[in-house]
Amino acid sequence: MIVLTGIRKAYGRVTALDGLELDVREGEFFCLLGPSGAGKTTTLKTVAGLEPPDAGTVEIAGRDMRDVEPYDRGVAMCFESYALYPHRSVYDNLASPLRSPRHRLPAAEARETIGSVAELLGISGLLERPVGQLSNGQRQRVALGRVLVRPARAFLLDEPLSHLDAKLRQRMRAELKAIGAVRRTTTLYVTHDSVEALALGDRIGVIRGGRIVQTGTREEIWYRPHDTEVARAFGRPRINLLPGTVTEDGFRSADGEVELPVRAKAGTEVLVGVRPRDLTLGGGPGHELTGTVYVTEPIGRTVEVTVRIGEQHLSLVAPRADAAGLRPDDPVRVTVRPENLLLFEADRPERPGRRIVP
């Protein structure tokens, strides 16, 4: 539906997009996730036609957009730095897209559409207020509302929840995909928040340095991350990455204290990845390690326990009952199932270690 091929874009000496490839399917909710400066906003602007690429093609619904003006692309975009009319009421701001010749609606229908969008965004009580008097979070919802009121082939949303407080953000995150217009419309959604991407994305594209590093469903990205940086980007506490070498018998940490059952060419320098929730305290089915408690920290109904094994620190998440009474330096056993181990090449400067496919 939205297909970007070989997109390059430089601003002076800064390369914003470096051969970007992206394929968003019809009707899908696609999250573009990446750190600040990765090229997310530039990607959206390229799709919207606000930034002509230096090279590459943009197709929307099978049509090359090269000579198509932004207004004629049929996409509705919501920027993080939203353009609203500060002196006009919220209602007027929401109504103005419906006054354009293309989207004009009979007054009664417009009122109904605006009413239901305002309701969904929790701004029904603000309709008469001038936008200039609203908080940032309220303005952000008005800006999102302006996108959702009119029909579009695709919605382009740039961090539309970034200014909401944590609680509202969580609620809106849960509701956003349920909004009829969003369900029906292909959506390209930009975020730097991996929790948001995992919660919302039918598929996720991880962008870094102006390129898509990996595209996949949340399961694919979680269980088969392309490299250590993708693995680090998802999951809190972060994935454990233990440095060491592959021997004939499996993995051996640099200090020789940790051995794990992995397979790869002997002699390869690697990082073994294991997520904190895939480690259990005590014995059980799987591979067992022994160490001592370094520190414990309650997180909600669970406890993050950091275990020291030789020079390595392994973080795990345990139910509170299992971690109750643990003190620093207590001896503990930690169990991991071999199928939960991920194997990566060692990181190099400028290039995070790729996952080694067994």
- Residues near ligand ATP, by CB under 6 A: 11, 14, 16, 34, 36-42, 192
Which H or E run contains 85? none
Minimum CB–partner distance for residue 47 and ligand ATP (Å): 12
Which CB, 13 or 265, lies closer to ligand ATP? 13
Which CB, 215 or 296, lies closer to ligand ATP? 215
Token reading at 119: 């309701």
Minimum CB–partner distance for residue 39 and ligand ATP (Å): 4
Minimum CB–partner distance for residue 206 and ligand ATP (Å): 12
Minimum CB–partner distance for residue 205 and ligand ATP (Å): 12
| CA atoms 132, 137, 142, 147: torsion sign | positive
Which CB, 38 or 197, lies closer to ligand ATP? 38
DSSP assigned state of 4: E
Minimum CB–partner distance for residue 24 and ligand ATP (Å): 17
Minimum CB–partner distance for residue 38 and ligand ATP (Å): 4
Beta strands 29-33 and 186-191 are: parallel
Alpha carbons 164 and 180: distance in angstroms, whole number: 22
Which CB, 16 or 118, lies closer to ligand ATP? 16
Which CB, 192 or 218, lies closer to ligand ATP? 192
Contact 145, 155 (CB under 8 A): no
Contact 314, 347 (CB under 8 A): no
| b/e sequence 12-38, b meaning 16+ C-beta within 10 Å | eeebbbeebebbbeeebbbbbbbeeeb
Q: What strands, in cross-sheet order, belong to the sheet with 302-309?
A: 279-281, 331-336, 287-299, 302-309, 312-319
| CA atoms 163, 165, 170, 172: torsion sign | negative
Minimum CB–partner distance for residue 233 and ligand ATP (Å): 13
Minimum CB–partner distance for residue 190 and ligand ATP (Å): 7
**What are the two backbone dihedrals, phi and then psi, of residue 269, each rounded to the nearest 5 degrees?**
-80, 125
In the chain, the largest separation of any two C-alpha atoms, in whole Å, equals 75
Preceding omega of 97 cis (within 30 degrees of 0): no
Which CB, 70 or 130, lies closer to ligand ATP? 70
Minimum CB–partner distance for residue 36 and ligand ATP (Å): 3
Alpha carbons 225 and 231: distance in angstroms, whole number: 5
Which CB, 34 or 201, lies closer to ligand ATP? 34
Helices (H), 122-209: 136-148, 166-176, 180-184, 194-200
3-state secondary structure of 219: helix
Which CB, 50 or 199, lies closer to ligand ATP? 50
Which CB, 78 or 242, lies closer to ligand ATP? 78
